[in-house]
Amino acid sequence: MMKYEHLFFDLDHTLWDFEKNSVATLKTLYSEIGLVNKGIPDFDDFNVVYHQINDKLWDRFRKGFMSREELRWKRMWQTLIHYKISSEKLAREMSERYLEILPTQTHVFPNCVEMLSYCASKNYQLHLITNGFELTQMQKLKNASLDKFFIHLITSEKAMSMKPQKEIFEYALNEAGAKIESSLMIGDALDIDILGAMQVGIDQVYFNPYRIPHKGNPTYEIAGLEEMYQIV
Ligand SMILES: [Mg+2]
């Protein structure tokens, strides 16, 4: 008898290589908008600045201090401000293009497709629980050819709750018709995926590709997706 029946995956930074895809998107944006002529001479520098600001604002968004809409354009606006460019119009244009280009990128983590195929072949029910935007996540899945693996895509928009809040996990269990004890959550964020699942009693797999030391206590920990074969 298999211990688990339902596998709930996080998407960004767990299956879909957000970092790589975001850098590729910014690179396209950088040349498309001609930022080199607008006062941002170096792409690598721009890339670092943007990601620092984005991390900071995502944290504020997660804590409920900022709306999605604000997050979307203000991360560009604050990046421009860093370079002494004050243009809300340009920030909004960049934000729009970023969101259009990002989900067309297709980098996934090594062994992602093999691992998902393996799980599907073993008759596990695969789902996603993501704090990302509904439409964006759907596009990412389609473009990276991952959509075929998943039965339910649970987003915070649909569940009206965000990881680590327990409501989104309860919503996911309910949607999937899954029991707590036969469910497993796989994600890269200790304080979001792992903590959230732990709080509702779902076993967790912490995906920690850079082997960052931590004080968490997940049920399992892996550094590569192929290590899932030892768990399921
Ligand atoms: Mg993640």
Rounded (5°) CA angle 50-56-57? 85
Same domain as 175, residue 77:
no
User: 157-206 pLDDT, tens per residue?
Assistant: 999 999 999 999 999 999 999 999 999 999 999 999 999 999 999 999 99
pTM of this structure: 0.88
- The tokens describing 17, both together, are 């290589």
Domain that includes residue 134, residue range: 6-16+108-230
Same domain as 33, residue 119:
no
Antiparallel, parallel or unpaired: β 125-130 and 220-222: unpaired
Same domain as 12, residue 41:
no
Same domain as 57, residue 12:
no
Ligand 1: distance of its center to the CA of 85 in Å?
31
| Whether residue 218 has a cis bond before it, omega within 30° of 0 | no
Same domain as 187, residue 85:
no
Given a contact cutoff of 8 angstroms between Cβ atoms, the answer to whether 144 and 106 are in contact is yes
Ligand 1: distance of its center to the CA of 13 in Å?
5
Question: What CATH number corresponds to the domain at position 57?
Answer: 1.10.150.240
Residue 1 lies in a domain: no
Ligand 1: distance of its center to the CA of 80 in Å?
26
DSSP label at 188?
S
CB atoms within 10 A of CB 108: 21
- Is the pLDDT assigned to residue 132 strictly greater than 90? no
d(CA 173, CA 179): 7
Ligand 1: distance of its center to the CA of 87 in Å?
31
Ligand 1: distance of its center to the CA of 131 in Å?
8
User: 54-84 pLDDT, tens per residue?
Assistant: 999 999 998 899 998 999 999 999 999 999 9
Residue 133: pLDDT band (50, 70, 90) is: confident
Question: What CATH number corresponds to the domain at position 135?
Answer: 3.40.50.1000
The count of structural domains within the chain is: 2
Same domain as 86, residue 197:
no
